[in-house]
Structure 1
């Protein structure tokens, strides 16, 4: 990876008239913007099939997010009518996603499209199904949830929870059409995604994708592979994941994800986990490993309490995991999300694996942050960010940060209102020694707190911000190009 730069923007935050950003015309237009402004990377958040809007709460580690499918393309193919597009346009607003409305309307439209597919599409779906073995469990899992009107597999009959072969065979016959629908959804998603990725690569733009470290309890991953998690004989979690108290969250964070049984993973040569990463290489050019600290240690909280402080640190698989991964797959380009409670073990594992580490410029001026993220501490084997989805955008931070922190940022980076505080921070990021420099789109636009993507540990109103149009973005193209050129980060 050469010295370069890029922008972070979730697919769902793209503008458009479908209630949510999609893999449609606006995604192609954004690739053109990246190409014309000299950027190399488009970093997206996880593309998994979410059930509540959070890209880190997904039904499957492999399935794509059906809500990102471009329905205008299906209309062009004659699979849905104009009235379905009108219903999607009425969901939420141009600036904000309303997931509750969107989920119902979009799934209904996809079901209508499925009923219209011809023999050619049926054959393509069958071929896709044969090449992706994970689809069998995924499609059955969703069909069962639809049949029983629940999103919690632990509410199913015990024979289904335990995956008794005879009962599974019975439901595969009973729910055949519903199962085929979910095959179709994933075929459409992957077809549209690969077309988008191929277009990006033709413009010399590359995707950086994200793998969540944990999976949800309400997922096909846990249902299909309970032995890989710390579960009791009744298939209930024994321990769940969280984060101990720190200067940002005095009470810590209770995530509630089931934690891994690393001994079982090791006995299976870490195959389930490795396949997640190898599959992501197929999806993206560069893969970011979220919560990289989890490969060295994780915070386990007893499942019968929500008191985070009762948790304990438990060791992860360490370098053995990566040695076996690299024996199976070469050419992996990895980023370690090494933020948070980083210690020497995390840094050594990151360096031994060759992963790029992360530096978040904004945190360098937050007096609560124990790590020093000011640019003079950066190294070449890292990726520098102005901000990330869990922080305030630059201008939002200047609205709410401690006065002493703001003054230090202004002094250190020689920020001025004439240049714009956001552009001064972008300058600090792009001028750093880090191999890659990334900015959130909100920082480029100079948006405030209202455009923040996620506020941990709040559960409501996250992951909803959208760019309302490209009109405000186009005038910034030449200025971004010049900054990228000045600091030798132009796309090669």
Structure 2
């Protein structure tokens, strides 16, 4: 692995006049700024559609892209929308507000995406976009057909969970014989949106690679119950005959939560997956690997043993550890995945945070997967935590999307606690006034070959800029909505990061890093 560095930022965090960030002009400006700052990685969170809580980790499809990330301006460039329509859909005060509005984005963007689909219908069959659309649909037919039909049926059933569907389905909630004919138009619209998302995303990714920047994607270990994934692959999940989950996923009490985290995703039937040679998992990972350069595999611990909670509990405290697929899964992945040319290992980063056993470490090391080191955990306990001793085959973070910002963390968890303050002072040099950049410097100086900081830390933002607080839900949690304000990505900020990157031998110029 080359010694390099990068920034963590989700595309919904770009400033936008349409409610959520997208893959348009601001995204390209951000890539330009990364290059000017000497960075080699852009880490994103899952790019999938979000649930009612805006979380990309609870998506109706783990293969699909989020339609809200489609740039309306780029659709106008394709002459599928007009500039006047864009101006009418713009949300007053949204640009520069510092906060995404998913509800308003959905209300404003989805009608325009439907209008663009209608105009797409009117193009000649030999139009470049129509030809590319047919190629895309053919190449992605497996998951795309399932996702589009699921979305169309969900719309026909008033958006209810699939276990309650009654219209155009049989007793088991599978599509009836007339469903595809009746739902032909919404099926097409869903496919059109996916075509446009991946077209725009692949253009942005190619632009980043030309600047020497690789993209780190994210694969959640679990998928949402109310998803095309579970609906069309029920035998791979622990469900009863009615489709309800028997066991659900989570983690026991830990650093983030005294009662654990109850995710409520259905857990896998790993025996059924093994009988199918884990091909569903290979297809899922392959789809993400084709959209990004590296993959952070979330909750890696769960592949060795996972926390299983009987459905119906309100917290994750009443669960048990159950052996996971371990080596059997990763051996299957090694044989089935198409590893990018030049790579000698799976392009996977293991999210190995939390209580990690020797068995989990052995599984990770057996496949040469680098793990994660998060500097905010330096004060969590009395165990040795020395960045200068991190293994080179690791990724060092100041914090992740699930942590407070470094400024917020220091103010709420360190500054007022003498023992924690002293413990931090024993391990690193820092100043109270510039704590975020002090931790960034520690990460960049560490032995880890890759160092990553969330953009919030580069901007020294307080707790209000936190992306997500695990275990919290609802509007009051304010999860997933942070956006940076226009104008903050300055030349001075890029120069400061560039100097730190060069000084710590992480600058690669315009050459993409080797992993």
| Superposition map of 1:403-422 within 5 A | 403=417, 404-417=419-432, 420-422=434-436
Indicate which of 372, 376, 382 corresponds to 1:358: 372
Bigger drift between 409-418 and 300-309 goes to: 409-418
TM-score normalized by the length of structure 2:
0.91
Q: Do the aligned residues in 1 keep the contact of 2:5 with 2:506 (CA within 8 Å)?
A: yes
Is 1:22 aligned to 2:36, yes or no? no
Indicate which of 144, 147, 150 corresponds to 1:138: 147
Deviations 1:430-464 (A, max 9, x none): 00100100011111110010000001110131000
Is 1:384 aligned to 2:396, yes or no? yes
Partner of 1:326: 334
Q: Do the aligned residues in 2 keep the contact of 1:445 with 1:473 (CA within 8 Å)?
A: no
Indicate which of 81, 87, 90 corresponds to 1:88: 90
SS at match of 1:116: helix
Partner of 1:170: 178
Partner of 1:258: 266
Shift in Å at residue 177 of structure 1? 0.9
**Cα separation, 1, equivalents of 2:488 and 2:319:** 49
Q: Do the aligned residues in 2 keep the contact of 1:18 with 1:91 (CA within 8 Å)?
A: no
SS at match of 1:89: coil
SS at match of 1:6: strand
Gaps of 5+ in 1: none
Q: Do the aligned residues in 2 keep the contact of 1:41 with 1:207 (CA within 8 Å)?
A: yes
Partner of 1:44: 44
Call closer, same or farther: CA 1:458–1:417 in 2, change over 3 Å. closer
Indicate which of 123, 126, 133 corresponds to 2:134: 126
Partner of 1:375: 387
Deviations 1:141-190 (A, max 9, x none): 101111121141111129446365xx544110011011111110000000
Q: Do the aligned residues in 2 keep the contact of 1:71 with 1:85 (CA within 8 Å)?
A: no
Call closer, same or farther: CA 1:341–1:64 in 2, change over 3 Å. same
Bigger drift between 407-416 and 28-37 goes to: 407-416
Shift in Å at residue 35 of structure 1? 1.0
Is 1:116 aligned to 2:119, yes or no? yes
**Cα separation, 1, equivalents of 2:364 and 2:262:** 26
The count of corresponding residues between Structure 1 and Structure 2 is 487
Call closer, same or farther: CA 1:170–1:318 in 2, change over 3 Å. same
Partner of 1:458: 472
Shift in Å at residue 411 of structure 1? 4.3
Is 1:75 aligned to 2:66, yes or no? no
Partner of 2:224: 216
Shift in Å at residue 90 of structure 1? 3.1
| Superposition map of 1:304-319 within 5 A | 304-319=312-327
**Cα separation, 2, equivalents of 1:45 and 1:247:** 21
Is 1:337 aligned to 2:337, yes or no? no
Partner of 2:194: 186
TM-score normalized by the length of structure 1:
0.95
Bigger drift between 403-412 and 243-252 goes to: 403-412
CA RMSD of aligned residues (A): 1.8
Gaps of 5+ in 2: none
